[in-house]
Structure 1
Amino acid sequence: MFNGKPLLVAGSLLLFSVTGAAAQTFSSDKTEFQLETVAQNLEHPWSLAFLPDGTMLVTEREGRLRRIENGNLVREPVKGLPELVASGQGGLLDVVLHPQFANNQTLFLSYAHRNSDGMTTRVARATYNGEALENVEVIFEALPRSRNGRHFAGRMVFDQNGHLYMAVGDRGEMDRAQDNRDDAGGVHRISTNGDAIADNPFIGDSRTNNTFYTYGNRNIQGMTLHPDTGEVWSHEHGPRGGDEINIIRAGNDYGWPKVTYGIDYSGIPISDKTTMAGVTDPLHYWDPSIAPSGMAFYTGDLFPQWQGDLFVGALRSQKLVRLTLNDEEVVEEEDLLTNLGERIRDVRMGPDGALWLLTDSRQGKVYRVVPAK
């Protein structure tokens, strides 16, 4: 249980301590819950990972990897990060653990990188020794590079076969999402060494890079595995309107910018179509935009009322969205934390049965969502 007492999870002793003021209580249609502040004063935290020993790793977009140990934020960042740049929407982005992390201490980082040719999204593999990264190796680099600082995407997830799915945004140059000799605007499926998977859908197609798994994706900011089917679910930012939830399936074209429910930021239409033959329609969309970021299915025991629900953070709308599903159909949508006044950057299902949130600000927080007392 919580309240400063040890919590045994998967054979590891997890210790949490709540910082700051008393936990805040909020209401959902199904239950009441509280937010416990586990860490604060993080600079634009972007991603959260749970280690087997109870440590948590948090990326700060400004270029730091931080540790939370025994419920306390360690002052000194993890050393040995790859060379990266924090510029525009880019910086240190996602952190995910190797499926066999307990045995090999290997993790993966996505981040923005700059050289004389411009900026891009990279993935590096490294060994974590508890205080620093060792054996850092770049295993994926999206090419060509671009001069602008938008739409790096960067979300990653491992599937049940140990394949790494890596999202690359269109870099703010929308037509790149339909050019598959260009790594922008899609999901890439690679091995832990960075190689294309042998049965990727475009292997042998000279018009498409071998690592592509899907294309026509604008700027994916959330990826997670469905707890029953094992399929990769994602969401992505639309322009003004047209944020989408999709199921990532081999070879699919998700339509950007040929079809969209949104319009350009200038107010000019991008397309007069919201669907067309050969394009995969979104499972769900938002118009106006909520700017979704981070997503997780709830699979814990603390909230039996939420079992199987999908939770999505929102930056622009500053809320947490709960979606109830019937197979691949959204049958209920509820907005939570609308009065919190925080941009929700990441949403994670914790090994302790709690839902975990990161807030996006210069004084970002790590929240633990638990039942109201």
Structure 2
Amino acid sequence: MIQYAKLLGASALVSTALLASPTLAQSVNAGDRTATTELPFESTSVAEFNTPWAIAFLPDGRMLVTEKPGRAYLVTQAGEKVEIGNVPAVLASGQNGLLDIAIAPDFADSGLVYFTYVDAADGGALTLSRATLGIEGDTVNLVDAEIIWQQSPAGGGGQPGGIIAFDPDGSHLFLSVGDRMEPASAQDPQQARGKVLRLNLDGSAPEDNPLFAQGGVEAETWSTGHRNPYSLAFDPEGKLWLHEMGPRGGDELNLIEEGLNYGWPLVSNGDEYSGAPIPDHDTRPEFAAPVVYWNPVIAPAGLAFYEGTMFPEWKGSALIGGLAVNSLVRVAFEGPGADEVDRWDMGARIRDVAVAPDGAVWVVEDSPQGHLLRLTPAQ
């Protein structure tokens, strides 16, 4: 059951299930950790890209890799790259550009891929499109691309979000949308900013969404009160997780539940960049608190749950890239709680993490000469 509350003069999502959600008493500050240089894996550089942003595996083990300036590639595990044609023009500035890419749940039959970008032609709107991945010999193109969702109003700063996740039965698409550096918009139900959206595969709003009857952005909204979410993934139990960057402190790992409000910018476990305090989560129990938070920050980017066989001790763990800490972070789960258990020094900003069909872990470095790395158990 969803109730309606008035926050800052605008309606916001609050769920009667809030008491069953993670509370601050269950939260763990995982920030004060030191990365280890003793790595349980060997790292092999396979290819190099210009500011790579996302990795998506095809069923045959090949990868799709996006570059933030606006290119995408089909890549073999040996590092052979073919640039993908017909990628739309993007606004490549700061945090904006070509973002996530994901294969459709029925990719084996449809050949569809979904991708996000900040549109160069429409005032900088975050845009979700889909197209057929057309592979003919040595040529790869996005065929019959169509925009299925676009942020309105357009514009804003960085922090676009733009991460795609499909639910376990493949019937719905979830999309993270950042606040575009306009914090108050995260609590404005009429703006597609600071939200997680739940959409049908064609981009329309599902009728069983919590606020479908309200229409517009509210009909699409699954959760609200997010800042800068650069991950969205379902765990092996079918639970949806998101991490988001805090301001000056307060990076968060959140369990995303229907109808909940996660509080930004009204609460945070960090402070404003100016040093001005923001009320902590424990001052406003109506907002869902993070399961894990980081002070100091790690600047999380990329999220994959490990279910492979190469690293059996990681099974069920979340692997997270750390931009600020140049690390790969592992979070383990026990009951309703979670905690960072490993932080490995990668010597570079890690932008995305993915797990290959064979269980190897792949990461990309956030750099104009960013390497695509394959991680396998140390010998």
TM-score (norm 2): 0.86
- Which residue of structure 2 lines up, in the alignment, with residue 217 of structure 1? 226
- Which residue of structure 1 lines up, in the alignment, with residue 319 of structure 2? 311
C-alpha distance in 2 between matches for 1:93 and 1:354: 23
2:285 aligned with 1:281:
no
- Which residue of structure 2 lines up, in the alignment, with residue 334 of structure 1? 342
- Out of 218, 242, 251, the position equivalent to 1:243 is 251
- Which residue of structure 2 lines up, in the alignment, with residue 73 of structure 1? 80
2:132 aligned with 1:127:
yes
Contact 2:281 2:287 in 1 (8 A): no
- Which residue of structure 2 lines up, in the alignment, with residue 193 of structure 1? 202
- Out of 345, 351, 356, the position equivalent to 1:350 is 356
Contact 2:175 2:198 in 1 (8 A): yes
Cα–Cα, structure 1 residues 122 and 284, in superposed 2: closer, same or farther, change >3 Å? same
Cα–Cα, structure 1 residues 327 and 158, in superposed 2: closer, same or farther, change >3 Å? same
Q: Which amino acid aligns with 2:303?
A: M
1:16-58 deviations in Å (ceiling 9; x for gaps)? xxxxxxxxx9635xxx211111212x01111101112332110
C-alpha distance in 2 between matches for 1:331 and 1:63: 35
Unaligned runs of 5+ residues in structure 1 are 1-24
Give, in angstroms, the shift of residue 250 of structure 1: 0.7
Contact 1:356 1:366 in 2 (8 A): yes
C-alpha distance in 1 between matches for 2:244 and 2:281: 18
Q: Which amino acid aligns with 1:231?
A: K
- Which residue of structure 1 lines up, in the alignment, with residue 44 of structure 2? 36
2:241 aligned with 1:230:
no
C-alpha distance in 2 between matches for 1:140 and 1:360: 27
Give, in angstroms, the shift of residue 270 of structure 1: 3.2
C-alpha distance in 1 between matches for 2:203 and 2:87: 18
Contact 2:250 2:268 in 1 (8 A): yes
2:59 aligned with 1:52:
yes
Aligned with 2:374: secondary structure? strand
Contact 2:61 2:357 in 1 (8 A): no
- Out of 108, 111, 116, the position equivalent to 2:117 is 111
Cα–Cα, structure 1 residues 56 and 252, in superposed 2: closer, same or farther, change >3 Å? same
Contact 1:82 1:124 in 2 (8 A): no
2:359 aligned with 1:367:
no
Contact 1:164 1:190 in 2 (8 A): yes
Q: Which amino acid aligns with 2:117?
A: Y
Identity %: 39
Unaligned runs of 5+ residues in structure 2 are 1-35
2:96 aligned with 1:90:
yes
Q: Which amino acid aligns with 2:127?
A: R
Q: Which amino acid aligns with 1:298?
A: Y
Q: Which amino acid aligns with 1:47?
A: A
User: Could you say what the CA RMSD is over the residues aligned between the two structures, in angstroms?
Assistant: 1.7
Q: Which amino acid aligns with 2:50?
A: E
Give, in angstroms, the shift of residue 208 of structure 1: 5.4
- Which residue of structure 1 lines up, in the alignment, with residue 332 of structure 2? 324
- Out of 272, 276, 295, the position equivalent to 1:268 is 276
Contact 1:300 1:353 in 2 (8 A): yes
Aligned with 1:176: secondary structure? helix
Contact 2:235 2:241 in 1 (8 A): yes
C-alpha distance in 2 between matches for 1:101 and 1:171: 31
- Which residue of structure 2 lines up, in the alignment, with residue 174 of structure 1? 183
Which one has the bigger helix percentage? 2
Give, in angstroms, the shift of residue 269 of structure 1: 2.0
TM-score (norm 1): 0.87
1:274-303 deviations in Å (ceiling 9; x for gaps)? 441321111100011110000111111111
Contact 2:329 2:340 in 1 (8 A): no
Give, in angstroms, the shift of residue 83 of structure 1: 2.9
Contact 2:243 2:252 in 1 (8 A): yes
Contact 2:333 2:339 in 1 (8 A): yes
Contact 1:64 1:77 in 2 (8 A): yes
C-alpha distance in 1 between matches for 2:340 and 2:121: 46
Aligned with 2:269: secondary structure? coil
Q: Which amino acid aligns with 1:202?
A: L
2:309 aligned with 1:301:
yes
C-alpha distance in 2 between matches for 1:268 and 1:114: 35
Aligned with 1:78: secondary structure? strand
Deviates more, 1:215-224 or 1:270-279: 270-279
Contact 2:195 2:226 in 1 (8 A): yes
Q: Which amino acid aligns with 2:246?
A: G
Contact 1:39 1:366 in 2 (8 A): yes
